[in-house]
Amino acid sequence: MLPAIFGLSGPELTADERAFFAEVQPAGYILFGRNVESRAQLRALTDDLRALHGRDRLLICIDQEGGRVARMKPPVWSAYPAGAAFDRLWEIAPASAIEAARANAEALGLDLAEAGISVDCLPLLDVRQPGAHDVIGDRALGTEPLRVAALGRATLDGLARAGVAGVVKHIPGHGRAQADSHKELPVVTASAQELETDLAPFVTLAGAAIAMSAHVVYTAWDEANPATQSPFVIDSMIRGRIGFDGLLLSDDLDMEALSGSVPDRAVRAQAAGCDVVLNCWAKMADMQGIAARLAPMSVQTANRLQRALAPTRDFAEAVDMARQAELFAKRDALLALAAA
């Protein structure tokens, strides 16, 4: 199996994609708005991917956070609030905020489960810092590590109740970056002591099954390399200090924070210690270059992937979508407390 997650070009597999994916056997796929048209179409696409590989437990992921980051949109699917909504509720009722976050994530997870999607790239454990770039902004669950960890855990629990795995991101923390890593390389100059704040939610949730790396340079740890491509940050901070032993995904290799060709970026991320590289934009030449240059998936990575997907649902089983109405009512009643 190739330790890569690839994007798809459209709402169904092309002949070239089908042949390429069958040959290289990627670890999984990531979906975007271009892949999403209707409930029936999306489920047909995910069923097609599982059939192509003969894997019931296939990593098919999506960035469905709520707020401004949502690939499955109204009117076909429900809208979900950004993380800041639960942060506001915490100010007056922490236990209610946790319950609201859990109900919201379960309802969201049911949408994904119905669509045949096994993994959501949520929750963000980035601790929002004053003056940081708005690329995280209202996506964050708060400015306090304890709050972020508690709401992050509730989100993971809610997704799990729907049979969907979550991804904690952006490890070891994107909350104080003053640039958007989609467009340029953020450089964080905070001290190692200050960065303990960023690490704290990840330490608390170190047992999460999947994490996504940050394309951010932390000068206190490695002045030359972003975390995604830093052996020191991955080995000493993510695996060591944080204690994360799950499946580590790179953030998207196409982001402009990284330099060099996309296959070069993939090789550097793998060499640094990422288990699986993420390549979102379905450019066949890039995908072929990655497949030609990556080392085969290690036994350790294969075991981490298996552990991550083991709790996800059997997509042959029906999804109880009627439960969504109850979850929405619970969430909305709790969130209304913060608006009163």
Question: Which pLDDT does position 81 carry in this prediction?
Answer: 98
**Position of tokens 């169904």?**
12
Residue 289: its pLDDT value, please? Answer: 98
Q: Is 174 a catalytic residue?
A: no
Residue from 16, 56, 182, 332 carrying the catalytic annotation? 182
Tell me which H or E stretch contains 269.
helix 262-272
pLDDT category at 340 given cuts 50, 70, 90 is confident
> pTM of the predicted model, to two decimals?
0.97
334 CB-side CA count, 13 A: 26
Q: Are 291 and 297 in contact (CB under 8 A)?
A: no
pLDDT in tens, 296-329: 999 999 999 999 999 999 999 999 999 999 999 9
Per residue in 164-203, pLDDT tens?
999 999 999 999 999 989 999 999 999 999 999 999 999 9
Please name which of 198, 205, 193, 216 lies closest in space to residue 157, comparing C-alpha atoms. 205
> Which among 115, 86, 116, 88 has a CA at the least distance from the CA of 103?
86
3-state SS of the chain: helix, strand, coil percent to 5? 45, 15, 40
- 266 contacts 287 by C-beta, under 8 angstroms: no
Q: Which CATH number belongs to the domain containing residue 247 in this structure?
A: 3.20.20.300
- Known catalytic residue at 251: yes
Structural domain tally of the chain? 1
Show the DSSP H helices in 35-130 as ranges.
39-53, 84-92, 94-115
Q: Which of 63, 87, 198, 251 is catalytic?
A: 251
pLDDT at 199: 98
Alpha-carbon distance of 291 to 218, in angstroms, equals: 30
Quote the domain boundaries for residue 292: 2-339
* CA 126/CA 278 separation, integer angstroms: 19
**pLDDT score, position 193:** 98
